[in-house]
Structure 1
């Protein structure tokens, strides 16, 4: 008799405990049917989750574990990485919350590197209270870039729209100077490969948005689009990638032109994320493309204003969970189809 396939193990970093992250985790697994899709393990504190279950009146099935060999596939596993009680101050930016968020992320990433978990789902952090002399990253992506192999790229994804960024957490005044032909090639190649491997798009079609208003108007409003973007896009197209642009960003989404492409690449953070969140909020997922491992996150932050009130919407968190599961499956399928192709062909 065939053995039942092992469920995908999803590691979850708890994020800022004074925000909505832990509530989202509990709401996601409040429905026992969720355990049919994966085995979840949260890197946090069992004491903290027992408090939250009582505070939010959410009797989710949980168990404390100290070994990956003892994971339950029918409960929310809490891998306790600290034993002290956590002093909850919902909606407040505290040093203690930042410290625990870092510890959770570091332990979850370690498990990912050691292949104890199949994918990482990160609950929202506060970029301010995580800053210490030993941890000075502006966000998850930058930390994972250091810890994991690959060229990470913030890739906001949903069923209807996928948006990648040439630059992410860069000041607007520095955007034009940061974008180089080398950077453009790296980012477009990362998205192209991710579409094929992670989302099973056979022949990706990618649109690139201009750096300046109206994509520079043929050099009238800035030279960067003419001198940097256009030649690089043309070169990539001639090498076989279906890459088009640069397009003027202001009318690109309103005219539904984005629907003609598998992905859109924006030049900077707000150029891509404002339309993405406007069109997909609640259903969008922050995926880090280009890494050897799979990491997803919801498309929002800590939501301090509603923390601890039981009002958080878990839709985006659930989407991030399902996206991580699907990408793990897609990668396995892709690797199976593309590894040792010549050898398989010879056998046939």
Structure 2
């Protein structure tokens, strides 16, 4: 993308029975958003028109056959399918799940072809989207496969970034999944993304322990002593600023996270419960480690309020702005690293 071109922001519509379509359309009902990006929604014009009327919105959009036909200054809707779709807000529906996948698949293909610059995904229902084509715990694993990357789920706000060693893994399997290779790989991903996507020159990273009190020197499990500690030391010996393992129960309450550029939790709830407690409604899910930028809001389909015109758009809007910021930072990083002389006197 040339520097003077506006960023084309692709949006997969998510589960149509949830709040995804509401937060997407309400975000771009504010025409000022078109000053920042060109939205390209992967869905169907008939559906968008129905939703527009349902939520009593005044936005105007244009239907297009493919993302490369998107026009700046307009809300573009790629007609991924032509048939009518019956929406029943708040209900789990396998047929609706197939349309969530069709939208995601088309958006991902457009991303790979550079017809869009970034992707923001509206929430899916992880049960109804499952099929022979989508057999993944969620967006992150699917995109890692399609974009040939080593992904890491990174939850972000302006002052807090929490990554995960393991994401959608059953609790009983955590200790078997966490290996020295996995730790090194995930810390490597988060270190690179802090440099290229968040302009942190020398990342300082904290690692949370696997067991309560990080195992209390082996009294409460040996994984921290035998796996985490030696691997962290190995990485530190290479000159990386990686510290831990820290006891997870007090780490956030004492605001120790403010001393680091990012925190890596050992498993899903260990990281996401404090993250969402501290930042719910402002947080963004960013898939680090891919060659493309993808973000999403920090919440799910919220079936209980779907269709009731009650959804809060803040997290989705933050996901849009974070995608744009990360894309620009990455483009700048690539320009500077390709032209080392330009780096003199500049902080990344």
User: Normalization by structure 1: what TM-score?
Assistant: 0.96
Aligned to 1:234: 233
- Distance in 1, Cα, partners of 2:342 & 2:129: 49
Secondary structure of 1:334's aligned partner: helix
2:68–2:115 Cα contact (<8 Å) kept? no
Where structure 1 has 5 or more consecutive residues not aligned to the other structure, the ranges are none
Cα shift at 1:343: 10
Secondary structure of 2:198's aligned partner: coil
Following superposition of structure 1 onto structure 2, how do residues 27-42 of structure 1 map, counting pairs within 5 Å? 27-42=26-41
- Distance in 1, Cα, partners of 2:86 & 2:67: 27
Cα shift at 1:344: 9.1
Cα shift at 1:5: 1.4
Aligned to 1:207: 206
Cα deviation code 1:288-330 (max 9, x no counterpart): 0000110000000000011111110000000000000011100
Q: Does 1:95 align with 2:94?
A: yes
Where structure 2 has 5 or more consecutive residues not aligned to the other structure, the ranges are none
Aligned to 1:285: 284
Cα shift at 1:73: 2.0
Aligned to 2:314: 315
- Distance in 1, Cα, partners of 2:9 & 2:44: 17
Secondary structure of 1:255's aligned partner: coil
Secondary structure of 1:207's aligned partner: strand
Cα shift at 1:240: 1.3
2:208–2:263 Cα contact (<8 Å) kept? yes
Kindly tell me: are residues 184 and 219 of structure 1, through their superposed partners in 2, closer, same or farther at Cα, counting changes over 3 Å?
Answer: same
Superposition misfits of 4+ residues, deviation over 4 angstroms? 342-345
Cα shift at 1:238: 1.0
Following superposition of structure 1 onto structure 2, how do residues 160-179 of structure 1 map, counting pairs within 5 Å? 160-179=159-178
1:148–1:291 Cα contact (<8 Å) kept? yes
Aligned to 2:301: 302
Following superposition of structure 1 onto structure 2, how do residues 108-187 of structure 1 map, counting pairs within 5 Å? 108-187=107-186
Secondary structure of 1:144's aligned partner: helix
Q: Does 1:325 align with 2:324?
A: yes
Kindly tell me: are residues 216 and 201 of structure 1, through their superposed partners in 2, closer, same or farther at Cα, counting changes over 3 Å?
Answer: same
Cα deviation code 1:228-284 (max 9, x no counterpart): 000000110110110000000000000000010000000000000000000000100
1:32–1:74 Cα contact (<8 Å) kept? no
Cα shift at 1:193: 0.4
Aligned to 1:197: 196
Kindly tell me: are residues 81 and 71 of structure 1, through their superposed partners in 2, closer, same or farther at Cα, counting changes over 3 Å?
Answer: same
- Distance in 1, Cα, partners of 2:70 & 2:228: 49
- Distance in 1, Cα, partners of 2:154 & 2:56: 35
Cα shift at 1:342: 6.9
Kindly tell me: are residues 4 and 320 of structure 1, through their superposed partners in 2, closer, same or farther at Cα, counting changes over 3 Å?
Answer: closer
Give the RMSD, CA atoms, in angstroms: 1.4
Cα deviation code 1:178-237 (max 9, x no counterpart): 000000000001000000000111111000000000000011100000000000001101
Cα shift at 1:340: 4.2
Kindly tell me: are residues 214 and 69 of structure 1, through their superposed partners in 2, closer, same or farther at Cα, counting changes over 3 Å?
Answer: closer
- Distance in 1, Cα, partners of 2:146 & 2:3: 33
2:228–2:245 Cα contact (<8 Å) kept? yes
User: Normalization by structure 2: what TM-score?
Assistant: 0.96
- Distance in 2, Cα, partners of 1:156 & 1:122: 14
2:68–2:116 Cα contact (<8 Å) kept? no
Cα shift at 1:67: 3.5
- Distance in 2, Cα, partners of 1:274 & 1:4: 39
- Distance in 2, Cα, partners of 1:30 & 1:133: 36
Cα shift at 1:150: 1.8
